[in-house]
Amino acid sequence: MQQPRIKINRQLFEETSHSPALVDIVGEEQIDTVIDYCFIANPYYPTMDMLEQLKSKLSSIIKAYPSSNPRLAREHLAEVLQIDAEWLVLGNGATELITLIEKHLVDDLAIPVPTFSEYIEKLRTSEAAKFFQLDPKKNYQLDLGEFASWINENKISAALIINPGNPTGQLMQVNELKWFLDEMAHLKLILLDESFIDFADEQIPSLLHDVEQYDNLIIVRSMSKHCGVPGLRLGYCCTSNQVFLQTLKDALPVWNINSIAEYFLLQLKNTNEVYHETRMHVIRDVRDLYQKLIKLPGYQIYPTGSNFILIKIEFEMSAFDLQMHLLENYGLYVRDCSNKIGLDNRHIRVASQGKEKDQFLIDALEALATENVCR
């Protein structure tokens, strides 16, 4: 059912390659009337108990400097991940680390597209980006054998893999990735982004515990996604390469992690069991959303190994027009992927916000398809 028309600031969509913040688009007075399906983060974590505990300590936390010794925060995270703390570098969001990696370690980069735009925009020069177009007929699934051959033919020194892919949601298997890493051992650097890997399966198919086997590998992860804390700006990378580690640590400013984010890291060990319960909740929600979406007429629904789903509109409406229509008339905010290199103007991305809220999206997409397909 449509609701009273939402007033939005359309100009903001022209000023960034990312989704504008919902509060900026609709304002504080309307924000509670909109559901944000651009929010590709765990909606169930941190728990209310964790947030209440943070509130009770907030006045003292914000009056204190974070630690000037980043090893302490790394050790809290490493204990939960069960890896060597010396392999970790913490960042003010994964984007800070992506920026530093590309500034200091990347000469040219093989990039399967479509992809997360920061990996393109933060390269030192536009010529450093070497695009490998993924095939829409194969659901934008990356063929690692073809990718490896193409990299060698073009004599590229570094490669990017996002697993699961963003915005495609496509998942690669661990054995495929290990084969690629063995074949590409001669590259200067392989960047593996696992920001959404916790939503891929009940058993997380990560290479985090294999990092020591591959000297040219850096794994990047955003904690915004799986921990549901984009406002804290927390991310990390993991590598056993001592040159990479020292280069990144030298490039980071002191106190790049704020005291609230540092306090959150302290809570991870005691809430790890709850975290995995919320992770499983998200996985179930996404699977339910996918099964409902594939029954709708007028859309191509791509398989996903993440907490979001890529959708192609098959009737005469662009992704931007659909995005605006859903936002203004239904109070539903989805991601228009038209500005993603390698995609056309018919793709949107939606992230599950829980079964109850996801039903509003299903109903609205069905109404739009029925109206347009049956004309």
Q: What is the pLDDT of residues 193-234, one digit of tens each?
A: 999 999 999 999 999 999 999 999 999 999 999 999 999 999
Q: How far is CA 287 from CA 97, 199, 351, 354, in A?
A: 31, 11, 11, 11
**CA–CA separation, 328 and 6 (whole Å):** 4
**CA–CA separation, 13 and 315 (whole Å):** 23
Number of neighbouring beta carbons within 10 Å of residue 119: 24
Q: Are strands 189-193 and 158-162 parallel, antiparallel or unpaired?
A: parallel
User: Residue-wise pLDDT tens for the chain (375 aa)?
Assistant: 556 677 777 777 766 666 777 788 888 888 888 999 998 889 999 999 999 999 999 999 999 998 877 788 899 999 999 999 999 999 999 999 999 999 999 999 999 999 999 999 999 999 999 999 999 999 999 999 999 999 999 999 999 999 999 999 999 999 999 999 999 999 999 999 999 999 999 999 999 999 999 999 999 999 999 999 999 999 999 999 999 999 999 999 988 999 999 999 999 999 999 999 999 999 999 999 999 999 999 999 999 999 999 999 999 999 999 999 999 999 999 999 999 999 999 999 999 999 999 999 999 999 999 988 755
Contact 1, 299 (CB under 8 A): no
For residue 4, the model assigns a pLDDT of: 62
**Dihedral of the alpha carbons of 150, 152, 158, 163, in degrees to the nearest 10:** 40
Number of neighbouring beta carbons within 10 Å of residue 256: 18
**CA–CA separation, 118 and 94 (whole Å):** 10
Q: Where along the chain do the CATH 3.90.1150.10 domains lie?
A: 10-46+273-373
Locus of tokens 């936390």: 61
Locus of tokens 């051992």: 185
For residue 371, the model assigns a pLDDT of: 87
Domain 48-271: which topology?
Aspartate Aminotransferase; domain 2 (3.40.640)
For residue 19, the model assigns a pLDDT of: 76
**CA–CA separation, 189 and 160 (whole Å):** 9
**CA–CA separation, 113 and 134 (whole Å):** 6
Q: Please state the pTM of the whole predicted model.
A: 0.94
Number of neighbouring beta carbons within 10 Å of residue 75: 13
For residue 227, the model assigns a pLDDT of: 94
For residue 17, the model assigns a pLDDT of: 67
Q: Where along the chain do the CATH 3.40.640.10 domains lie?
A: 48-271
For residue 39, the model assigns a pLDDT of: 85
For residue 30, the model assigns a pLDDT of: 82
Q: What is the CATH number of domain 10-46+273-373?
A: 3.90.1150.10
The b/e string for 289-299 (b: 16+ C-beta within 10 A; e otherwise) is bbebbeebebb
Quick one: three-class SS letters along the chain? CCCCCCCCCHHHHHCCCCCCCHHHHHCCCCHHHCEECCCCCCCCCCCHHHHHHHHHHHHHHCCCCCCCCHHHHHHHHHHHHCCCHHHEEEEECHHHHHHHHHHHCCCCEEEEECCCCHHHHCCCCHHHEEEEECCHHHCCCCCHHHHHHHHHHCCCCEEEEECCCCCCCCCCCHHHHHHHHHHCCCCCEEEEECCCHHHCCCCCCCCHHHHHHCCCEEEEEEHHHHHCCHHHCEEEEECCCHHHHHHHHHHCCCCCCCHHHHHHHHHCCCCHHHHHHHHHHHHHHHHHHHHHHCCCCCEEECCCCCCEEEEEECCCCCHHHHHHHHHHHHCEECEECCCCCCCCCCEEEEECCCHHHHHHHHHHHHHHHHHHHCC
